[in-house]
Amino acid sequence: MVAFSSSRYLLAFLLLNLYLKVMDADPNLTFYFKNFGKDSNFESQLALFGDAKLSRDNFSVQISGSGVSTAGRFVCKKPLSLVHEKSRKMVSFSNYFTFSMSGVNGDGLAFVMLPSQFPLNVFDGGEMGFLGERKMKFLAVEFDTFKNEKHGDANGNHVGIDVGSPVSVKVSNVSSINLVLNGGEKLQAWIDYEASSKRFEVRLNKFGESRPLHPLLTYSIDLSKMWGDENVVVGLSSSSANTSQENSVHSWSFKSGIMPQWMHSEPLDPQHFLGKEEEMKVRKRSDCTLRVLSALVLGTGCGALGAFLVLLLWTILGDRRPIMPEEFVVQQPKELEY
C-alpha cells in the first residue's frame, strides 16, 4: 500500500520536473516600451548606435536627424534564436512599433534582422547604414521614402521586404492605402512571422487606427533555414544619405517564442487563406502528419520510460519496505531525484 502510493507520488514528481524543464527551455524575447522616457529604463534591453539618440522631449528615439551621411541603429541587446536549441522547434515573433518620418530623400526607416556577429557600431556608409560592400544574411522591412532607380523602386513611398540584398523581393505601394510615410504623421507598423506556416507579414496604419486585417505585404520564407542555429539581432535602422530626414521611433514592442500547438492550425489571417495558396495547405497537412508521428514516437518513448521507472521504483521500494520507517518512504523520492 505505502509503496504503491509513494511510487505514484514519485511519478507525479518526475512528470512535474519534466514539465518544468520544458517550460524553462522556452526561448522567448519580450520587451514593450510605450515610450523611451527616463522611467522606461529602455536601455536595460535596447541600445543606440551611430546617430540614434533620445529626442529633445526625451520620449522618442531619433535615428538620422539632421546632418550629412548619418546613420543609426536602435537594437535589442539580447540576440534572438530562430530555432529552439533543445526542442528544434521554430520560433515565431511579432514586432510592433510606432514611428514618424519627415523630410525627403532619406532612406527611411527599416526593421532589420542581422547576424548577431554583425559589428553594430560600424557604419560603412551604405544603404540602411550597413549595405556598403558587405554581403551577408539579413532581412529588412524598409519603410522607404526614396525612389532608388538602381534598385527598381516604384516610388518614394513604399514598403519592401529585402532578403540579403537591397533589391526588394516584395514591394507595396503605400500611396495605395492612402498613407504617406514621410508626412510627419505618426504611423504604426506590425511585422509578424509565423514559423509553422513560414509566413512573414507586414501591416501599416495611422496611429490610433486598428491593426488592418489584410497585410500590406506577405512573404513566404523559412527563417529557420536562412539562419539555422545562428542568432540574430533585431533592430530599427536608418540612414539619411545626404538629407536631413528626421525619423523618430515613439514606441516599440517585440515578442517571440514557440507558438502553442493550438495556434499552428490557425492561419494568422484567415481571410487571406480562403481559396489562395493551395500548396501551403498541402505542406501544412504533411507538417501535421509529421507532428502526429513525432508525438507518437515521443509518447511511446515517454510511456516506456515511465513504465520502466515505475517498475524500477516498485522493485526498489517494494524490496525495502519491510525495513523502512514510513516517513522515510515518503522522503525517498526527493533523494532519488538527485
Ligand X SMILES: *[C@@H]1O[C@H](CO)[C@@H](O)[C@H](O)[C@H]1NC(C)=O
Among 1, 23, 274, 323, interactor with ligand X by CB under 6 A: 23
* Euclidean distance between CA atoms 207 and 28, whole angstroms: 27
* Euclidean distance between CA atoms 114 and 82, whole angstroms: 12
CB of 128 to ligand X, least distance (A): 14
The piece of 22-30, 191-199, 301-309, 311-319 that touches ligand X (CB under 6 A) is 22-30
Q: What nine digits make up the cell of 320? A: 525495502
The secondary structure of residue 255, as a DSSP letter, is E
Instruction: Examine residue 105 and tell whether it contacts ligand X (CB under 6 A).
Output: yes
Instruction: Examine residue 173 and tell whether it contacts ligand X (CB under 6 A).
Output: yes
Instruction: Examine residue 39 and tell whether it contacts ligand X (CB under 6 A).
Output: no
Enumerate the β-bridge partners of residue 72: 50, 238
Of 56 and 270, which CB lies nearer to ligand X in the complex structure? 56
The piece of 14-22, 83-91, 133-141, 172-180 that touches ligand X (CB under 6 A) is 172-180
Residue 100 CA, distance from chain mean position: 23
Of 5 and 261, which CB lies nearer to ligand X in the complex structure? 261
Instruction: Examine residue 167 and tell whether it contacts ligand X (CB under 6 A).
Output: no
Instruction: Examine residue 40 and tell whether it contacts ligand X (CB under 6 A).
Output: no
Of 58 and 294, which CB lies nearer to ligand X in the complex structure? 58
* Euclidean distance between CA atoms 233 and 260, whole angstroms: 24
Burial class for 200, CB neighbours closer than 10 Å (0-12, 13-18, 19+): buried
Instruction: Examine residue 241 and tell whether it contacts ligand X (CB under 6 A).
Output: yes
Q: What nine digits make up the cell of 185? A: 504623421
The piece of 25-33, 180-188, 193-201, 203-211 that touches ligand X (CB under 6 A) is 25-33
Instruction: Examine residue 150 and tell whether it contacts ligand X (CB under 6 A).
Output: no
Instruction: Examine residue 220 and tell whether it contacts ligand X (CB under 6 A).
Output: no
Q: What nine digits make up the cell of 196? A: 509553422
Among 11, 154, 316, 324, interactor with ligand X by CB under 6 A: 154
Instruction: Examine residue 57 and tell whether it contacts ligand X (CB under 6 A).
Output: yes
The secondary structure element, H or E, covering residue 131 is none
* Euclidean distance between CA atoms 129 and 284, whole angstroms: 38
CB of 257 to ligand X, least distance (A): 7
Instruction: Examine residue 155 and tell whether it contacts ligand X (CB under 6 A).
Output: yes
CA nearest 9: which of 313, 316, 338, 322?
A: 313
CB of 306 closer than 8 Å to CB of 313: no
Cβ neighbours of residue 208 closer than 8 Å, sequence gap 6 or more: 186
Instruction: Examine residue 85 and tell whether it contacts ligand X (CB under 6 A).
Output: no
CB of 26 to ligand X, least distance (A): 4
Among 5, 41, 176, 271, interactor with ligand X by CB under 6 A: 176
CB of 38 to ligand X, least distance (A): 7
Helix (H, G, I), strand (E, B) or coil at 54: strand
* Euclidean distance between CA atoms 218 and 221, whole angstroms: 10
Of 73 and 158, which CB lies nearer to ligand X in the complex structure? 158
| Sign, Cα dihedral of 327, 328, 329, 333 | positive
Binding positions for ligand X, rule: CB under 6 A: 23, 26, 28, 30, 57-58, 105, 154-155, 173, 175-176, 241-242
